[in-house]
Amino acid sequence: MLQSRSVSTTRTFLVSNQIHEGVPAAVALKSAIKVGTKPAEHPHSDTRSPLERFRTAPKKPLSVTDLVSPAWCELQYWYTLTKHGRKKRTSAMKQGSAVHKVLEDQVHRTVQIDIETKEDAWGLRIWNVIQELRTLRETGQTRELEVWGTIDGLVVNGVIDELSYICPDHELEVLLQRTPKKEKKLPPADQTSISDFFKTKGSMNDDDETIYEDALEEQDYSATGSSQNSMSILLAHNNLNTLWSLMISEFKITFPDGAESLGGVLKAEYRSRDSGEIVGIKTVPMDNEDLNGYLEEELRWWKGEREAKGVVVEEAFKCRSCDFAEECEWRLYKVEEATQKARLRKGRKTSAV
């Protein structure tokens, strides 16, 4: 029976075939800084919050990418928004889109649909969700499922890479069922990225070397349509209101117990950008308290209640691949701070002699 099933969620990351060797934090900090480089100027003339500036109508609402990307480095995402408005599509992102498309085509048969109006575009998005939910019920798996929700009263849009009725880690699921609920706590202070969450919370099927620093690079998702012949259904739901109501009813059929229909084990799947082959799998127990704690802190930045933060010194290796490394105020400040500490230590040694 459908009611007895729990749905498993999978997130797919695309990684390069190169393994980046670790370097000392101090070396990573200095590696891309030119002498005399001036820090980027803050846009003091605009005192609006990031939410007001970049995610308020007529601009698009918040996305899951907006909430996850700052986990790599908030300052990097802030510079991206203020200088470019959005992350520029790179060759790596295009490769990632191609891999996602191949995986999606294994589950869905897609056709090209001509879009003439905004209403057409919205109708296609809603219809895709309806077909993907039906595919999940009929085959036990679906990919690229678009979802909408609210967090703290804000609309958030995202795409789930994969949903399946197959549990990715039965041993972990049994362990979670036997473990009593823990007391409420805040996320670890040193958990500054999603990769940290996987390292501290998850169980790895392959070597941890398969998790690379660029694994969280933003993916580009393209909405595609279903070619299933359901003209009678579309004619009976020929406006956005009725089509949306049909989608909600499909959600209720697919997830009869709401959130309780979802399993407690998540899977992170790492694939090569070049071949699309799996290079690592990690299973993670779902932890609503940790997630809510992270979201609460991240929304404080989006709402302008605090400044964007740079990475901790131990994660300075991230700066090597950052487009804003040479102008980053945090990076320059940390280098100056390290230089001053070195001078103080040298001065103490000299005075002791």
Token pair belonging to 141: 């798996």
Residue 205 pLDDT: 42
Token pair belonging to 241: 């209101």
Residue 179 pLDDT: 66
Residue 20 pLDDT: 44
Q: What confidence tens digit (pLDDT) does each residue in 193-237 have? A: 444 444 444 444 444 333 333 333 333 333 333 434 577 888 888
pLDDT < 70 stretches in the chain: 1-6, 10-44, 89-90, 92-93, 100, 168-170, 172-229, 349-353
Token pair belonging to 100: 């996602």
* Nearest-angstrom CA–CA distance, 110 and 105: 7
Residue 206 pLDDT: 41
Residue 138: which residues within 8 A CB-CB, separation 6 or more?
none
Residue 353 pLDDT: 53
Residue 273: which residues within 8 A CB-CB, separation 6 or more?
14, 15, 16, 17, 92, 95, 96, 99
Alpha-helix residue ranges (DSSP H) falling in 208-321: 231-236, 240-254, 288-302
Q: What confidence tens digit (pLDDT) does each residue in 62-74 have? A: 999 999 999 999 9
Residue 256 pLDDT: 92
Residue extents of the structural domains in the chain: 2-352
Residue 3 pLDDT: 39
